[in-house]
Amino acid sequence: MTDRVEMTVSLQVTPAQGLALQAMFEHWNKLASWGSSRRIAFFVDGDGNFKPKAKVQFSKNLPDLTEEMKSRSVVDGQNSGDLLFDFDPIAWMLHDD
């Protein structure tokens, strides 16, 4: 199994946003337990009151997130702004190093 680190994400959300995110994460876990690969999305209403100010922390030092990693992690939606991210391109970059 691949090494794991604890990732903590802190968000400033409304109760409704928090519950919707909780439902999404529960679905992520369900898909993972099934071994199922699917696209999952959360609608970011930037002109509304969704201003999460996300902060991310890890339990150990990771390589810096480079512009190339950011770019390669976007696997669909470059022309629409509805971006789909995937970790696999970054995994290959780290593996090749």
State how many domains the chain has.
2
Domain carrying residue 27: 1-61
Same domain? For 54 and 74 the reply is no
Question: 22-75: per-residue pLDDT in tens?
Answer: 999 999 999 999 999 999 999 998 899 999 999 999 999 999 999 999 999 999
Same domain? For 57 and 76 the reply is no
Query: What is the secondary structure of 9-68 as a DSSP string?
Result: EE----HHHHHHHHHHHHHHHHHHHHT----------TTTT-----EEEESS------HH
- Kindly state the helix (H) or strand (E) to which residue 7 belongs, with its residue range: strand 7-10
Same domain? For 67 and 35 the reply is no
Same domain? For 24 and 49 the reply is yes
The predicted model gives 84-96 an average pLDDT of: 93
Same domain? For 70 and 56 the reply is no
pTM here is 0.84
* CA nearest neighbour of 73 among 96, 56, 89: 89
User: Is residue 2 pLDDT above 80, yes or no?
Assistant: no
Same domain? For 42 and 78 the reply is no
* CA nearest neighbour of 71 among 85, 55, 58: 85
Encode 66-91 in three state secondary structure. Answer: CHHHHHHHEEECCCCCCCEECCHHHH
Same domain? For 56 and 23 the reply is yes
Cβ(27)–Cβ(40) below 8 Å: yes
